[in-house]
Structure 1
Amino acid sequence: MPSVFSLSLLSMTWRSGAWCLLALMAWALLAGCTSTPAPRGEVQPEPMASGDLAQSDVNRMATLGMRDNLASLFLLMDKLYRRNPQEWRKGGFSSREAAMDAVRQALEARRSWPDLALADKRDIAALAVALDPAFAGDRVAAFTYGLGDMLITAHGGKTRFYLLDGLDAQALYNAARNIEIAAWMLAQRRDRAGRPLLLADEITAQARNLSFEREFGKMIARVDLLASVTTEKYRRAVVSYVQNFVGGTLLQFLPVQAVTAP
């Protein structure tokens, strides 16, 4: 029969081995994390162009924000078409890609969407038609066009910005609120039969898909941040002027060596 001392020694040996095993496992896990990072992508900078020299920091931020918001918009359009494939057929397109190209070209050319039901309506007016239960056309195309045109209009009708371009902070703030309203209406509006106008986010017992909400959230955050930076730009200009004025008169080095007469 083993003694109490031998049992205690055996228990200590087991605990020591267990701790060593856990330490080795933790080390292996950390080593694996550092040597093989998860493939989550990386930031892709744009190549330098001659026009970049005519952009301030705020201009550049606005340009990149518009680029990313339009990318989010067309990602949402693609996702909506995948969930509602009947919509692009209403517009007479051969595929959802053809419908997306047509909307992209209309936004780039700043021309109205050629659906007779829209009757040359632009930005929020086009959005209102797209989310009207009585609208029988391609609702995805009309929704994307209206939202995109509203965004570009709020940015002064431009997608790239230079030193002579100005931005209206209140228009940008209103655009962010319009995106919130459009996302809410997309989730809540129903037709006469009680069905969603467009299938988007899905929350069921079997699945939880909130990818639409996340993409809308990104767009809202970008526009809100640009609105705040636009107002800050003028405030910082005043502060910098005062700091330079005060610094020029008060913050001067004083002589430390006596000047002797010749």
Structure 2
Amino acid sequence: MRWFSVLLLVCFLVGCATSGNNGQSEPGVSRLAKSDIDEVIEVHQQAVMAQLKRLMFKLYKRNPNLRHDRDVRTIKESVERTFSRQVDFIYPEWAIIRKPTDIIRLALDERFQGDRVLAYIIGLRKMLMASYDNHSEFFYLTSIDQQKLYNSARNIEIAAWLLAKKRDSEGNLLMLSDSLSGEVRNLSYQRIFGKMIATQDNLAQIIAQKNGRIIKTFVVRAATLAFLPI
């Protein structure tokens, strides 16, 4: 009976939040249907997505010739356009690819001829959102899996390694990120990846502690580079 009462309360609050406002939640009312942990989850998700947007901007700036729409819009407009789309937006060139991590691999495949930065970021975004069960708002009865969050952090590590190491047959990096030999050392990409990894790991520990569960840990080995399931 207790859970049934909570369910009725949440449904009532969410219904009140959306009625008379064209389906948009009113912040003050919708917050009543959130617990403190729900707000913590949203803050972490917003943080990791902000870092992903920053990564996309920097990769386009570092690899201007890879941007498919460089002749029609600015880098900032390209990035905003990408993130304004729903995470399940269908890109025709990747419509048949089921796993987000396969899109990441495609972006760093020498045979790929498209916008590598876009593919890389789309793959990461889909993978990260999957770790939140594709929710962008969280309420009392919304739950996420700490193992998925942890696995996503390890997958970011793998994606970062691939970005730094993947080269074509002539030995050229497929996408430039960190500084090359002879350039001023640039650790900004490592810092972005580090923040994304820390955000996902931190939230995984918070959720694990809340649920009283243990996270199954893995050591990412460069030799295997097998993405973990989400």
TM-score by length of 2: 0.74
Contact 1:133–1:191 (CA under 8 A) maintained in structure 2: yes
Could you report, residue by residue, the CA deviation over 1:58-111 in whole angstroms, capped at 9, with x for unpaired residues? 2111100110111100101000010100111368753323321332133x3522
Tell me the distance in 1 between the aligned counterparts of 2:167 and 2:132.
31
Q: Distance between the aligned counterparts of 1:195 and 1:90, measured in 2?
A: 23
1:170 corresponds to 2:147: yes
Is the 8 Å Cα contact of residues 34 and 140 (structure 2) preserved in structure 1?
yes
Which of 62, 77, 80 pairs up with 1:101? 80
User: Does 2:49 match 1:70?
Assistant: yes
- Corresponding residue of 1:39: none
Alignment of 1:102-251 (within 5 A): 102-106=81-85, 108-114=86-92, 116=93, 118-121=94-97, 122-202=99-179, 204-235=181-212
- Partners of 1:187 and 1:201 within 8 A in 2: yes
The structure with the larger Rg is: 1
Gaps of 5+ in 2: 1-26, 214-230
* Letter matched to residue 119 of structure 1: A
Comparing both chains, which one has the higher relative contact order based on Cα–Cα distances under 8 Å and sequence gaps of 6 or more?
Answer: 2
Q: Per-residue deviation at 1:204?
A: 3.9
Contact kept? 2:34, 2:138, Cα under 8 Å = yes
Residue identity (%): 37
Distance 1:185 1:93, change over 3 A: farther
Where does the alignment leave 5 or more consecutive residues of structure 1 unmatched?
1-47, 237-262
Aligned equivalents of 1:144, 1:161: Cα separation in 2: 24
1:53 paired residue number: 32
CA distance, structure 2, for counterparts of residue 136 and residue 159 of structure 1: 32
What count of residue pairs does the alignment treat as equivalent? 186
Residue type of the partner of 1:83?
R
TM score, norm. by length of structure 1: 0.66
User: 2:87, 2:200 → 1: CA distance?
Assistant: 22
Q: Give the number of the structure whose residues are more often helix, by fraction.
A: 1
Q: Matched residues in 1 for 2:34 and 2:196: separation?
A: 22
> Aligned partners of 2:100 and 2:72: how far apart in 1?
23
CA distance 1:223–1:109, shift in 2 (3 Å): closer
Q: Quote the residue 1:259 is aligned against.
A: none
8 A contact 2:153–2:197 mirrored in 1: yes
Any conservation in 2 of the 1:59–1:161 contact (CA below 8 Å)?
yes
CA contact (8 A) 1:191 1:197 kept: yes
- Are the equivalent residues in 2 in contact too, given 1:88–1:140 (CA < 8 A)? yes
**Cα distance 1:166–1:221, how it changes in 2: closer, same or farther (>3 A)?**
same
